[in-house]
A and B are shown apart, each in its own frame.
Chain A
């Protein structure tokens, strides 16, 4: 299942992963556009249906549509095909503001803390991320700071073996801050380039668990100035409008520096990304488009929008 497929370039893979998305969105847009001869209110209604169904969110969709109506009027547009292009440009522009790949600074261990609600795919993302960073030549270390969920440590351990990187762990139920403390010491003495810290999934509404994250962050920063250098929030693309709330609260509580959007290989449209970009302006670092080791891809707004609309 976790085969390392080598076929196609990035663009092809991305397209493949997003095939369903592309089909549903692009097909509806295309049918709509080639089926219709003029830009009228029906066209906008259909467009609204597409965006809302893609989890862009009703309010934001409304804004987008109003924007486009205005553009159509101002530029005196007649051609529905032009409208498609404008919508693409508009979405790309919004996403562009978050187009910032993760770059690892090479001066001492670079700490990446991975957080999110339960079941978004944190551990799997960490496995793929470790694989990617190792392939780039970094000495990577995994840190099992999810000491709460049954077998979470074992799960990360298996990824460590697969990717062949060391794992720092303690017993289940131990203090995650203590694990982090150990990990920093180990990373310093072993001259590790990147440490990736797996944390327990937690709903953003549980204030005691958010405090736990703050404590981990504090300990990390005390032992390793500047750490964590990256706090990645893992969001599930099948999540609806609550993803925004998650991002907002995690950001307010511990400060998010990047987002990973997972499970884009399903039929979920990932439209939530646009709303996140618009409202929060947190860089979108990666997208998860499959179960393979190399199915974690850097986010690229132009290719993302293209893959959806082409």
Chain B
């Protein structure tokens, strides 16, 4: 619903365009929408309050630039501040000076600890470490078995507990065995538990005291709601966590929990889980997360790039044509020149929110070489053909192919893609894609 936050904000600033500074009143109004966007993204209520207050004071008095709309400008301020707040701090694991270095994973039930343990083992093995896994989850049925299977698949070490009486003893023995067998890293997968279950939390404390982990990482679900803060707060208070791993980021949750957790613990988000495969773990990127929380793809980069490359008047002209459904092959040809100025086409498409999901788009996604060929084909058409592609029959296609040094199939493909593109443009103008209103781009 906040696919086009800037679009929502623009009317507030309509009068402001091109003159003066952002004032108290219109920034305050804009903050209402920003606040809703953040809450909708599950950023904690209190965190939102502090954040909007902070951003408001930063935004008021800023000059309004000619080049972008005040709405875009506000969103950019919000975005930059989000990045700033979620960044900072080292995202590296501190595993030096210990042999073996224990890493302890903690979190609620179902947040993805076991899968994350396997992914982390994979990640560290790739970096040349010798990793052994141990499960301290003596409660959930088959939890130990699950980790054992994953360890075997990875070719990582696995500690086979002798008896299941005590999670603390299992961890201590696992460290001893890892030392003896020459593993330099031990990842401890603990049982999921409620942060208010004092008995179970006490168990974590005992494990911590017994093995003194190099890193204690809180595993948190990217889909978490308002309560993510109390969970993170409690785990951090008790254990003094070193960082956070955000899981299930391959879904479509906006992931406001990332900001919440960072805000209450001050600890960096070190990794994100992006899928079910063992290599689906990535280093955290605050910029991507900020855009995601605001529900806007990487639109800011897009806006910046587009402004750089596209003549504004031309863009307006283009927008009109798209709206009137009169986007001709000639316009398409002009666009190709612009695209080259803007960088990789695929990146451009990926930056547009919502567009990545459109199935039809897959066929319209040309590679860079294709661009050259496409330009050649269009150059070989007559003006009449470019303005009305429907007159291009078999004979004409043959001639165009010959003229451009391509095949009839190439020409057919281009025409098909062009037709599909027009369809998408129609959808875009009908749907909420008007966010690309200014400095925007038709794809």
User: Is the CB of B146 closer than 8 A to any CB of chain A?
Assistant: yes
Among A49, A54, A205, the residue within 8 A (CB) of B251 is A205
A267 B227 Cβ-Cβ under 8 A: yes
Residues of A within 8 A of B225 (CB): 55, 238-241, 243, 268, 272
Among B44, B139, B148, B230, the residue within 8 A (CB) of A1 is B139
Residues of A within 8 A of B256 (CB): 240
Q: How far is the CA of A124 from the CA of B71 in the complex (A)?
A: 47
B226 A59 Cβ-Cβ under 8 A: no
Q: How far is the CA of A158 from the CA of B108 in the complex (A)?
A: 21
B215-263 with Cβ < 8 A to chain A: 221, 223-228, 230-231, 248, 250-254, 256-257
A240 B141 Cβ-Cβ under 8 A: no
Residues of A within 8 A of B112 (CB): 118-119
Known: A119-B111, A151-B149, A238-B224. A266 touches B194 (CB 8 A): yes
Among B139, B143, B230, B257, the residue within 8 A (CB) of A240 is B257
Residues of A within 8 A of B39 (CB): 52, 57-58
Contact with B along A111-138 (1 / 0, CB 8 A): 0000001111101000000000000000
Q: How far is the CB of A165 from chain B (nearest CB, A)?
A: 14
A179-237 with Cβ < 8 A to chain B: 203-206, 236
Residues of A within 8 A of B360 (CB): none
A70-105 with Cβ < 8 A to chain B: none
Contact with B along A270-300 (1 / 0, CB 8 A): 0010000000000000000000000000000
Residues of A within 8 A of B115 (CB): 118
- Nearest chain-A residue to B220 (Cβ)? A238
User: Is the CB of A269 closer than 8 A to any CB of chain B?
Assistant: yes
Contact with B along A126-159 (1 / 0, CB 8 A): 0000000000000000000000111110110111
Q: How far is the CA of A129 from the CA of B150 in the complex (A)?
A: 29
- Nearest chain-B residue to A272 (Cβ)? B225
User: Is the CB of A306 closer than 8 A to any CB of chain B?
Assistant: no
User: Is the CB of A242 closer than 8 A to any CB of chain B?
Assistant: yes
Q: How far is the CA of A54 from the CA of B148 in the complex (A)?
A: 38
A242 B109 Cβ-Cβ under 8 A: no
User: Is the CB of B145 closer than 8 A to any CB of chain A?
Assistant: yes
Q: How far is the CA of A123 from the CA of B250 in the complex (A)?
A: 22
- Nearest chain-B residue to A51 (Cβ)? B45
Q: How far is the CA of A149 from the CA of B225 in the complex (A)?
A: 25
- Nearest chain-A residue to B141 (Cβ)? A158
B110 A121 Cβ-Cβ under 8 A: yes
Among B108, B148, B150, B196, the residue within 8 A (CB) of A238 is B108
Known: A150-B150, A266-B196, A267-B196. A203 touches B250 (CB 8 A): yes
Q: How far is the CB of B144 from chain A (nearest CB, A)?
A: 8
Q: How far is the CA of A64 from the CA of B295 in the complex (A)?
A: 24
User: Is the CB of A263 closer than 8 A to any CB of chain B?
Assistant: yes
Known: A1-B139, A240-B257. A266 touches B251 (CB 8 A): no
User: Is the CB of A20 closer than 8 A to any CB of chain B?
Assistant: yes
Q: How far is the CB of B16 from chain A (nearest CB, A)?
A: 26
Q: Which of B196, B225, B251 has the most CB of A within 10 A?
A: B225
User: Is the CB of A38 closer than 8 A to any CB of chain B?
Assistant: no
A242 B227 Cβ-Cβ under 8 A: no
B141 A242 Cβ-Cβ under 8 A: no
B42 A149 Cβ-Cβ under 8 A: no
Contact with A along B132-158 (1 / 0, CB 8 A): 000000011111011111100100000
Residues of B within 8 A of A263 (CB): 108-110
Q: How far is the CA of A96 from the CA of B206 in the complex (A)?
A: 46
Residues of A within 8 A of B254 (CB): 241-242
Q: Which of A155, A158, A268 has the most CB of B within 10 A?
A: A268
Q: How far is the CB of B151 from chain A (nearest CB, A)?
A: 10
Residues of A within 8 A of B142 (CB): 151-152, 154-155, 157-158
Q: How far is the CA of A240 from the CA of B150 in the complex (A)?
A: 29
B5-53 with Cβ < 8 A to chain A: 35-36, 39-42, 44-45
Q: How far is the CA of A235 from the CA of B421 in the complex (A)?
A: 38
Among A155, A243, A266, the residue within 8 A (CB) of B140 is A155
Q: Which of B147, B195, B196, B253 has the most CB of A within 10 A?
A: B253
Among B108, B111, B146, B230, the residue within 8 A (CB) of A155 is B146
Q: How far is the CA of A123 from the CA of B140 in the complex (A)?
A: 11
Q: How far is the CA of A205 from the CA of B251 in the complex (A)?
A: 6
Residues of B within 8 A of A267 (CB): 195-196, 227, 230-231
A52 B42 Cβ-Cβ under 8 A: no
Residues of A within 8 A of B140 (CB): 155
Q: How far is the CA of A54 from the CA of B44 in the complex (A)?
A: 10
Among B40, B150, B221, B251, the residue within 8 A (CB) of A57 is B40
Q: How far is the CB of B290 from chain A (nearest CB, A)?
A: 17
A239 B146 Cβ-Cβ under 8 A: no
A148-176 with Cβ < 8 A to chain B: 148-152, 154-155, 157-159, 172
Among B110, B196, B227, the residue within 8 A (CB) of A120 is B110
A150 B149 Cβ-Cβ under 8 A: yes
A245 B42 Cβ-Cβ under 8 A: no
Q: How far is the CB of A28 from chain B (nearest CB, A)?
A: 12
Q: How far is the CB of B345 from chain A (nearest CB, A)?
A: 24
- Nearest chain-B residue to A262 (Cβ)? B110
Residues of B within 8 A of A265 (CB): 194
Contact with A along B362-388 (1 / 0, CB 8 A): 000000000000000000000000000
B141 A117 Cβ-Cβ under 8 A: no
Among B45, B250, B251, B253, the residue within 8 A (CB) of A53 is B45
B108 A151 Cβ-Cβ under 8 A: no
Q: How far is the CA of A267 from the CA of B225 in the complex (A)?
A: 11
Residues of B within 8 A of A239 (CB): 221, 223-225
Residues of A within 8 A of B228 (CB): 238, 240
Contact with A along B65-90 (1 / 0, CB 8 A): 00000000000000000000000000
Residues of A within 8 A of B1 (CB): 59
Contact with B along A237-270 (1 / 0, CB 8 A): 0111111010000000000000000010111110
Closest A-B pairs by Cβ, 4 of them: A119-B110, A240-B225, A240-B42, A151-B146
The 29 listed contacts between A and B (C-beta, < 8 Å) are A1-B139, A52-B39, A55-B225, A57-B40, A58-B36, A58-B39, A58-B40, A59-B1, A59-B40, A117-B223, A118-B115, A123-B141, A151-B148, A154-B141, A155-B140, A155-B141, A155-B142, A172-B149, A205-B250, A238-B227, A239-B223, A240-B42, A241-B42, A241-B254, A245-B252, A245-B253, A263-B108, A267-B196, A267-B231
Q: A150-B150, A154-B146, A155-B145 are in contact. List 10 more A-B contacts (CB 8 A).
A: A58-B35, A118-B110, A203-B251, A203-B252, A204-B251, A205-B251, A238-B108, A239-B225, A241-B254, A267-B227
**A binding-site residues for B, Cβ under 8 Å:** 1, 20, 49, 52-55, 57-59, 117-121, 123, 148-152, 154-155, 157-159, 172, 203-206, 236, 238-243, 245, 263, 265-269, 272
